[in-house]
């Protein structure tokens, strides 16, 4: 497009006034601008930190808009979901995960949770009873006095 500028090494600008000013980057669409890629090694969501991500050292970026003029990307095929995947995922994949998680939450009723707690309490109670019996047996053994041994007594 007119006034498109790819000013950094190995950069591409496609679209009217698109500007690729960072190395190894692509500005795609009118008025799109690139920025430096960000290394992301972990993310914290609702107080939980997640890590072990693949592709944590990007060498460039692709921009389809700019701050205040963001764009959606449509018709994205499902990406590979695995520990080493660097594919993009689409809305249906995210929906599937969220839906399955909600089903699992719904199936974990308070009654089931209470039953699990009761079972654990029963097991702890059984362990306490066994420990008490061991303690009583140890006390009984400690109260015994050894008999003196005399080899002449037969």
Dihedral sign of CA atoms 78, 81, 87, 91 in order: positive
Mean pLDDT of the chain: 89
pLDDT over threshold 70, residue 81: yes
Task: Provide Rg for the chain, Cα atoms.
Answer: 34
Confidence of residue 116 (pLDDT cuts 50, 70, 90): confident
CB 18 within 8 A of CB 8: no
pLDDT of residue 138: 77
Confidence of residue 55 (pLDDT cuts 50, 70, 90): very high
Span 105-113, average pLDDT = 76
Give the count of alpha carbons within 13 A of 124, CB side only. Answer: 6
pLDDT of residue 67: 94
Most confident of the following: 5-14, 34-43, 90-99, 127-136: 5-14
Delineate the domains of the chain, giving CATH numbers in brackets: 5-107 (2.150.10.10)
pLDDT over threshold 90, residue 112: no
Helix (H, G, I), strand (E, B) or coil at 9: coil
- DSSP string of 27-81? EESTT-B--------EEEETTEEEE--S--S-S--EESSBTTB-----SPPPPP-
Confidence of residue 68 (pLDDT cuts 50, 70, 90): very high
DSSP 8: S
Question: What are the CA-CA distances from residue 152 to residues 55, 67, 71, 148, 149 (Å)?
Answer: 86, 104, 104, 12, 9
Helix (H, G, I), strand (E, B) or coil at 13: strand
* Beta bridge partner(s), residue 33: 19
- For the whole model, what pTM was predicted? 0.63
């Amino acid at each position: 497009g007119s006034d498109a500028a790819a000013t950094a090494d190995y950069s591409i600008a496609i679209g009217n006034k698109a500007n690729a000013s960072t190395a190894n980057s692509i500005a795609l669409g009118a008025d799109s601008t690139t920025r430096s890629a960000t290394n992301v090694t972990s993310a914290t969501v609702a107080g939980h930190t997640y890590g072990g991500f693949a592709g944590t050292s990007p060498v460039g970026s692709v921009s389809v808009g700019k701050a205040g003029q963001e764009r959606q990307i449509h018709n994205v095929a499902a990406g590979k979901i695995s520990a080493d995947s660097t594919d993009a995922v689409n809305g249906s994949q995210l929906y599937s995960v969220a839906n399955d998680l909600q089903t699992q939450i719904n199936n974990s009723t308070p009654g089931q949770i209470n039953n699990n707690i009761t079972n654990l309490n029963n097991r702890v109670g059984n362990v306490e009873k066994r420990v008490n019996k061991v303690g009583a047996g140890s006390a009984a053994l400690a109260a015994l006095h050894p008999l003196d041994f005399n080899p002449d007594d037969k």
